[in-house]
Amino acid sequence: MTETAPPKPLPPSPPGDDPRATLKGVALMCLAVFLFIMLEMTAKASAEYMPVAQTVWARYFSHLALMTLFLAPRYGMRLIATRRPGLQIVRSLLLLLITGCTFFSLRHLQMAEVTTIGFAAPFFVAALSVPLLGEKVGVHRWSAIALGFIGVAIAMRPGLGVFHWAALVVLGAALANAFYLIATRKAKDEDPVVSIYFTSFAGALVMSAVVPFFWVTPSEPIGWVIMVALGIFGGLGHFMLILGHTMAPASLLAPFYYTQLAFSVGVGYAVFGDVPDGFTIAGALIVLASGLYLIYRERKKARA
């Protein structure tokens, strides 16, 4: 959930007339989502080697180091030359909050649970777009929003003995993600590379001030590997996401964000032996159906 949304409206997508380019765009979109799931898997695995604050720091610092290494020769100081510093700071702090909440929750919940509850974000965005963006939401979209929240509630299982309070942390992260996405819409005139770099820079800066109070030196090499892998998966995921949007229309790629649900179930089972229960599966299916219908209504509205 922490990484799958584009950092901002990306460069104009091609019309999708070239089937091969479109297919490549879809493949890159799915690869990006898979890399983000691998990021969450690595964050979950890090619980055995370091505190969550150190995991968050490693995610941002290693990502920042890789972006600086590969982009600084081309961009120079333009990497942080934003025209809207206030908005970028707000976005960065929101994303840092989302990352921290998600990484914390992954230590207590299955990956599939975190992913399903995290998909409340698009429904929050649709609901908040009325007061914050002045958009009109019709009965069809409100119905999809309501059904989506029902799916999230089923996955959270409130009132049942299996409910875990960490699910509320994920829901809070989803709400923060909604505000992040709305702020991202307002930053539509910014270079996507600058937006990604700025969030990495700000996150690394804040966490570098925090992590000394929690630092645990890894006693095994795998701990250091995990810290580097966090940045690699996040950085490559963002690169594939941007590249995919240059090859296929954003409206066509949007439904493939939901492949994250399948990837989280598969990776969670393969790595941690997690088997989602009936509540998680039912909630995920409802969220999937509601999300896809919301995308369909957005497309129909755009064509009108």
Residues 6+ apart with CB under 8 A from 221: none
Classified as helix, coil or strand, 270 is helix
8 A C-beta contact, residue 197 and residue 67: yes
Can you give the pLDDT at residue 81?
Answer: 85
Structure tokens at 98: 């989302």
| Encoded amino acid at 90, one letter | V
Q: What is the pLDDT of residues 283-297, one digit of tens each?
A: 999 999 998 988 887
In single-letter form, the type of residue at position 3 comes to E
Residue 71 burial (CB count, 10 A): 16
> Residue 59's pLDDT is what?
96
What is the average pLDDT across 153-172?
79
Return the axis-axis angle of helices 19-45 and 52-75, rounded to nearest 10°: 140
| 156/113 Cα distance (integer angstroms) | 8
What are the pLDDT digits (tens) for 197-220? 999 999 999 999 999 999 999 989
Residue 255 to residue 69: CA distance in whole angstroms: 33
Whether pLDDT at 162 is above 70: no
Distance CA 195, CA 197 (A): 6
Q: How far apart are the first and last CA of the chain?
A: 31
Q: Which residue has the tokens 């996507």?
A: 192
Classify residue 84 as left (phi > 0), alpha (psi -120 to 50) or beta. beta
* Confidence at 156, pLDDT banded by 50, 70, 90: confident
At 17, give phi and psi (nearest 5°): -75, -25
Percent of the chain with pLDDT over 90: 48
Q: Copy the structure tokens of residue 215.
A: 């630092």
Structure tokens at 160: 């049942």
- DSSP strands (E only) in the chain: none
Can you tell me the distance from the alpha carbon of 287 to that of 20, in angstroms, rounded to the nearest whole number? 30
Q: Collapsing DSSP states into helix, strand and coil, what is residue 102?
A: helix
**Mean pLDDT of all residues belonging to the chain:** 87
Query: Which tens digits make up the pLDDT trace of 105-129?
Result: 999 999 999 999 999 988 898 888 8
The CA radius of gyration of the chain, in Å to the nearest whole number, is: 19
Instruction: For residue 295, report the phi and psi dihedrals to the nearest 5 degrees.
Output: -65, -40
Distances (CA, A) of 58 to 4, 223, 240: 19, 11, 21
What is the spatial distance between Cα 59 and Cα 99, in angstroms, rounded to a whole number? Answer: 9
Backbone φ, ψ for residue 266 (5° rounding): -65, -50
